[in-house]
Amino acid sequence: MATEYKLRMGDGKRIFMTKEQIIADLKEGMADAADLGSIPDLSADEIDKLVDILTMPSRMVGVELGKEVPVTHDIGTIRLDGDQGNSGVGIPSSRLVGVMMHERAFGADTMELGHIDYSFKPAKPVIAQEMQTMEVCQQNTIVPLFYGAMPNMGLYYTPDGPFENPGDLMKAFKIKEAQESMEHAAKHLTRDIVWIMQRMMASGADGVNFDTVGAAGDGDMFASLHAIEALRKQYPDMYIEAGMAGELMLGLHGEMEYDGTVLAGLWPHQQAPLAAKAGANVFGPVVNTNTSRSGAWNLGRAVTFIKQAVKDSPIPCHVNMGMGVGGIPMLETPTIDAVSRASKAMVEIAGVDGI
């Protein structure tokens, strides 16, 4: 009987696969990415390396010595505390304690302060609290500390915001009105992001992390790129990370452009140059995990997309690695066997500059 290796499905379920099955799934995932993004396949050597990584007997793996990369952390402070209606691990701790733990115990190279609602819009009414927390965190740490939130343009539509919901308008075939609503919402989102970051920078922030750009479609990316452009103009030395929501920029509007490029339909290697053009220092490419496919299929696909993004990006790429992205299963607390293997593959094969 052929030797079987322990892997996981995209939903985290433990599965057993032979080497031949792993190779077949890696190649199928790779081919899917290559076809969708019109990008090259991985080489035979790279497929072999992926097989080696997935079949290593250790429970967890690490990168080779000398290939270590910076690790940027996002809303991790809140994940420690489990008492705010979120998914924390139940350690009572303030956000300051969270930042300090990440800096001094967990080895984070940069860190982020984020609010429990984790979108720019709901940070507006609590801006004084956010400014004070940023200032106190900066006084107690030396780790580069950014303010982070999701652009989350969905919050600008009814029932959460002032603009008519494009989903409702489109259902009524009011397409033009839906597009206009997205354009209005985008202007307000840009304005809010800039307003919030002006105050966070005044409180000592080292920069901003745009988390899940494009989560509400191409209008969300449009607003975010314009906010990046405005912030770069006002703060030439500010650190700006543009992290994406998914591998494909969804065309909810379909015709929005940034600097002459239609945003809808962009893949990671096409998104990166636009983020750089807007003024970002670091690009955070994302490839979503398909929960119905194996870890091998997902990793083959994710590495193929990210490798091309790294190649085409004029700025460093810090790939998003976490639950449901980067070939990692969609679990609230992703398993270390999958996380460490996917991360090693991203560093050693895709060539990412950070995670």
| Site residues, another protein (CB under 8 A) | 36, 167, 170-171, 173, 175, 178-179, 248, 250-255, 264-265, 292
List Cα–Cα distances, 6 to 55, 180, 276, 340, in angstroms: 8, 50, 40, 14
Cβ closer to another protein: 128 or 175?
A: 175
- Smallest gap from residue 346 Cβ to another protein (A): 24
- Smallest gap from residue 325 Cβ to another protein (A): 18
List Cα–Cα distances, 227 to 153, 252, 300, 355, in angstroms: 13, 20, 34, 23
Alpha helices in the chain (DSSP H): 19-37, 44-55, 76-80, 95-104, 120-123, 127-140, 166-171, 175-202, 218-234, 268-278, 295-312, 336-345
Cβ closer to another protein: 31 or 51?
A: 31
- Smallest gap from residue 267 Cβ to another protein (A): 9
Cβ closer to another protein: 262 or 323?
A: 262
What would the two tokens of residue 179 be? 């597009």
Cβ closer to another protein: 48 or 255?
A: 255
Cβ closer to another protein: 52 or 255?
A: 255
Give ∠ CA 189-289-105 in degrees, rounded to 5: 75
354 in Cβ contact with 282 (< 8 Å): yes
Distance of alpha carbon 149 from alpha carbon 122, whole angstroms: 10
DSSP string, 98-141: HHHHHHHTS--SBEEE--TT-BHHHHSTTHHHHHHHHHHHHHH-
Cβ closer to another protein: 109 or 160?
A: 160
- Smallest gap from residue 35 Cβ to another protein (A): 10
- Smallest gap from residue 276 Cβ to another protein (A): 22
- Smallest gap from residue 248 Cβ to another protein (A): 7
- Smallest gap from residue 251 Cβ to another protein (A): 3
Using H for helix, E for strand and C for coil, what is the string for 190-240? Answer: HHHHHHHHHHHHHCCCCEEEEEEECCCCHHHHHHHHHHHHHHHHHCCCCEE
Backbone angles phi, psi at 12, to 5 degrees: 95, -10
- Smallest gap from residue 30 Cβ to another protein (A): 19
Cβ closer to another protein: 135 or 177?
A: 177
Distance of alpha carbon 209 from alpha carbon 147, whole angstroms: 6
Cβ closer to another protein: 76 or 217?
A: 217
